[in-house]
A and B are shown apart, each in its own frame.
Chain A
Amino acid sequence: MSEFSLYLLQQLINGLTIGSTYALIAIGYTMVYGIIGMINFAHGEIYMIGSYVTFIVIAGLLGMGMVSLPIILIIALVVAMFIASTYGWTVERVAYRPLRGSNRLIPLISAIGMSIFLQNFVVLSQGSRDVALPPQVTGGWSFGDPSLYEVSLSYMQVMIFVITIISMTLLTLFISRSRMGRACRACSEDIGMTNLLGVDTNKIIALTFIVGAALAAIAGLLLGLYYGVVNPFVGFIAGLKAFTAAVLGGIGSIPGAMLGGLILGVTEAMTSAFFPSEYKDVVSFGLLVLILLFRPSGLLGKPEVEKV
Chain B
Amino acid sequence: MNQFRKSLLGLSTAVCIMGLTAAAQAETLKIGLAGPATGPVAQYGDMQKIGVMAAIEDINKAGGVNGMMLEGVIYDDACDPKQAVAVANKIINDGVTQVVGHLCSSSTEPASDIYEEEGVLMITAASTSPSITEKGYKMIFRTIGLDSLQGSMAADYILKTAKPARVAVIHDKQQYGEGLATSVRDQLAENGVKAAMFEGVTPGDKDFSALIAKLKKENVDFVYYGGYHPELGLILRQSAEKGFNAQFMGPEGVVNSDLAKIAGDASEGVLATAPKSFDQNPINEARVAAIKAKGEDPTGPFVFTAYAAVEVMANAISATKSTDSVELADYIRAHDFDTAIGKVKYDEKGDLTESTFLVYRLHKDGSKTPAE
Contacts and interface: CB of A to CB of B under 8 A. Distances in A.
A156 interface: yes
Interface in A1-37: 3, 7, 10-11, 14-15, 17-18
B204 A273 contact: no
B243 interface: yes
Contacts of B200: 276-278
A127 to B, nearest CB: 12
Contact of B201 (A130, A223, A277): A277
A227 B207 contact: yes
Contact of B206 (A229, A273, A278): A229
Chain A contact-residue range equals 35 or more
B204 A233 contact: yes
B233 A14 contact: no
B261 interface: yes
B173 interface: yes
Contact of B213 (A14, A227, A271): A14
A233 B202 CA distance: 14
A14 B244 CA distance: 15
A272 B243 contact: no
Interface in A215-252: 223, 227-229, 233-234, 237
B241 A273 contact: no
A11 B262 contact: no
A90 interface: no
Interface in B177-216: 198-202, 204-207, 209-211, 213-214, 216
A140 B242 CA distance: 8
B264 A134 contact: yes
Nearest to A231: B230
A274 B179 CA distance: 24
A101 B351 CA distance: 67
Interface in A38-97: none
A281 interface: yes
A280 interface: yes
Which of B173, B201, B241, B243 neighbours the largest number of chain A CB atoms within 10 Å of its CB? B241
A130 B202 CA distance: 16
A18 to B, nearest CB: 5
B242 A154 contact: yes
B210 A11 contact: yes
Contacts of B262: 130, 132, 228-229
B243 A152 contact: yes
A269 interface: yes
A130 B200 CA distance: 21
A66 B262 CA distance: 22
B258 A129 contact: yes
A223 B206 contact: yes
Nearest to A137: B241
B230 A135 contact: no
B156 to A, nearest CB: 26
A150 interface: yes
Contacts of B242: 152, 154
B363 interface: no
Nearest to A134: B264
Contacts of B201: 277-278
Contacts of B211: 272, 277
Contacts of A135: 237, 241, 264
A154 B241 contact: yes
Contact of B210 (A154, A156, A269): A269
A101 B344 CA distance: 74
A130 B237 CA distance: 14
Interface string A145-165: 000011010101000000000
Interface in B145-174: 173
A132 B204 contact: no
Contacts of A102: none
Contacts of A273: 210, 213-214
Contacts of A17: 209
Nearest to B171: A278
Nearest to B243: A152
Nearest to B241: A154
B202 A15 contact: no
B165 to A, nearest CB: 15
Interface of B: 173, 198-202, 204-207, 209-211, 213-214, 216-217, 230, 233-234, 237-238, 241-243, 258, 261-262, 264
Q: Which 6 A-B pairs have the closest CB atoms?
A: A272-B210, A278-B200, A14-B209, A132-B262, A132-B261, A276-B199
12 contacts: A15-B210, A129-B258, A138-B241, A223-B206, A227-B207, A227-B237, A228-B234, A229-B206, A229-B233, A277-B210, A277-B214, A278-B200
Given A152-B241, A228-B237, 7 more contacts: A7-B217, A18-B207, A129-B258, A223-B206, A229-B233, A237-B205, A278-B200
